[in-house]
Amino acid sequence: MELVRTEQKKFVDYLEFLDAEDVREFEELIRYLKGKKVAMVNATCYGGGVAEKLHSLVPLMNDLGVHVDWWVMSSCTNQFYNVTKSFHNCLQGLEKKLEQREIDIYLHYIHLNTSHMQDWQYDFIVIHDPQPAALIQYGENSNIKKWIWRCHIDTSTPNMEYWNFLYHYISRYDACIFTMPEYVKENHALKNVTFIPPSIDPLSFKNIPLTRERAQEIVTEFGIDINRPLISQISRFDPWKDPLGVLDVYRIVKKELPEVQVALVGSMASDDPESWDYLYRTLRKAGEDYDIKIVTNFNGITGLEVNAFQTVSDVILQKSLKEGFGLTVTEGLWKGRPVIGGNVGGIRLQIEDGVSGFLVSTVEECAERVLNLLRNPMLAREISEKGREKVRKEYLVTGNALNYFNLFLKLLQD
């Protein structure tokens, strides 16, 4: 295991996003939790949503007086990551047989990561996702008092062979956290099942307020005409994110509003051949239409550019056909832009249809909503204000810290 260093975060910097009652709740919880020792454990400190969240959550908790160490698994090779990628896909429903070879590889790397654990002394340990889940079998006689497993993936319809394998370990934990009730199978005997949605950091590069001028300057570099309406979708090139559907929506809208432009902004992993295939498919469908901009991290898209696209878009789409939570929806709402999302998964949790955004099930419905929003700036402003307020109340890193602290306190009292 390796200890991860994080940048400092100051709780006072977040006060502007909190209500007085949240601050009181923090003060109350800290009275019980100050000085408690917590370990967070996951597979990687860079890349992926979990690492991004821990880079904000861990220093924030430390600043509040709870001592949090963040450990990542070490000595893991591609052999391990190939197996755990297959765990990830199968726990989200992929049909495939669990092979003994995979179990052996998984447990081998788990064992390699237990060497320091005998010396660990923690009041709580939070193990994130399946990769380190089996560590608990070495920890039951350790100086770690409470074990918590945090599931970040959609386990609503898992491949049962993989779920049963994982269940053997997670059923030993003192508490299990899922994003939503739908993600945990009924008839389980898991202890202290708790639901905590993911969160965003309002002070990260991706979410910090950008002036409109600065954001416009950034998107202009990618060929966007800031004097014409822009719809955008920020997401991986993946069939479940439906970038092809977004192009169909754009084409319907274009017939009525010829000046409209669309941006598809996505990050590409060099080792993910499926997403390259899907990007090429999307490019073929876009053809010679120069009002369709397709840009990726290979063109220079980082968190700041994502922020700029979200900040200047007239309508943000997340036309997913399946979605765990959809942080891009949270980020879009936080920018105070109107968001239209597929009526699926975690998007339904975030958007109340017609109130804080729109939920759609078809291309036609989506196009109609886009046109409606582009033609009614008042409506767009009204729903986006409600969307931003919902994120402030429910999906910021401060709320995430409160959720964890409440669970810690509950376990202390158990």
Check if the beta carbon of residue 17 is closer than 8 Å to that of residue 392.
yes
Phi and psi, residue 339, nearest 5°: -120, 135
d(CA 179, CA 153): 8
The CB-side HSE value for 161 (13 A sphere, CA atoms) comes to 13
Q: Find residue 166's DSSP bridge partners.
A: none
Q: Which of 301, 317, 349, 351 binds ligand UDP (CB under 6 A)?
A: 301
Single-letter amino acid, residue 392:
R
Q: What is the distance, to the nearest Å, from the Cα of residue 315 to the centroid of all Cα atoms in its chain? A: 21
Binding mask 385-414 for ligand UDP (x = CB under 6 A): ------------------------------
Q: Which helix (H) or strand (E) holds 113?
A: none
Identify which range of 11-19, 76-84, 97-105, 324-332 contacts ligand UDP by CB under 6 A.
324-332
Question: Which stretch in 4-12, 171-179, 318-326, 395-403 sits in contact with ligand UDP by CB under 6 A?
Answer: 318-326
Q: Which is nearer to ligand UDP, 253 or 333 (CB)?
A: 333
Per-residue contact string for residues 176-215; x = within reach of ligand UDP by CB under 6 A:
------------------------------x---------
Nearer to ligand UDP, 66 or 234 (CB): 234
Strand ranges across the sheet with 339-342? 292-296, 261-266, 230-234, 315-318, 339-342, 358-360
Q: Which is nearer to ligand UDP, 142 or 235 (CB)?
A: 235
Nearer to ligand UDP (CB atom), residue 299 or residue 361: 299
Closest among 314, 330, 331 to 372, alpha carbons compared: 314
DSSP lists the bridge partners of residue 128 as 150
Site string for ligand UDP, 44-63 (x = CB under 6 A): -----x--------------
Roughly what angle, to the nearest 10 degrees, separates helices 212-220 and 303-312? Answer: 110
Supply the minimum distance, in Å, between the C-beta of residue 122 and ligand UDP.
28
- Is there binding between residue 384 and ligand UDP (CB under 6 A)? no
Give the residue carrying structure tokens 């060929």.
223
What type of residue sits at position 182?
A: E
Residue appearing with tokens 């014409």: 228
CB of 152 to ligand UDP, least distance (A): 9
Say if CB 50 and CB 325 are below 8 A apart. no
Closest CB to ligand UDP among 124 and 237? 237
Phi/psi of residue 209, each to 5°? -60, 130
Residue 349 interacts with ligand UDP (CB under 6 A): yes or no: no
Beta carbon of residue 328, minimum distance to ligand UDP (angstroms, whole number) = 4
Site for ligand UDP in 215-274 (CB under 6 A): 234-236, 265-267
Size of the site for ligand UDP (CB under 6 A): 18
Q: Are 148 and 165 in contact (CB under 8 A)?
A: no
Is the CB of residue 315 less than 8 Å from the CB of residue 370? yes
Q: Give the residue with the Cβ less far from ligand UDP, 125 or 295.
A: 295
Whether the CB-CB separation of 55 and 6 falls below 8 Å is answered with: yes
CB 190 within 8 A of CB 184: yes
Site for ligand UDP in 10-49 (CB under 6 A): 49
Instruction: Using CB under 6 A, pick the residue from 328, 384, 398, 400 that binds ligand UDP.
Output: 328
CB-wise, 130 or 324, nearer to ligand UDP? 324
Task: Please say which residue, 306 or 339, places its beta carbon nearer to ligand UDP.
Answer: 306
Q: How far is CA 374 from CA 112, 216, 256, 257, 338, in A?
A: 56, 18, 11, 9, 10
Integer CA distances (angstroms), 168 to 108, 145, 162, 172, in order: 17, 20, 10, 7
Compute the least distance from the CB of residue 325 to ligand UDP, in Å. Answer: 5
Shortest separation between residue 265's beta carbon and ligand UDP, angstroms: 5
**Residue 306 in contact with ligand UDP, rule: CB under 6 A:** yes
Binder of ligand UDP out of 327, 333, 339, 371 (CB under 6 A): 327
Q: Cβ 404 to ligand UDP, closest distance in Å?
A: 19
CB 137, CB 103: distance < 8 Å: no
DSSP letter string, 195-215:
E----B-TTSTTTS---HHHH
Please select the residue that binds ligand UDP; options are 80, 331, 392, 405, rule is CB under 6 A. 331
Which residues lie near ligand UDP (CB under 6 A)? 49, 206, 234-236, 265-267, 297, 301, 303, 306, 324-328, 331
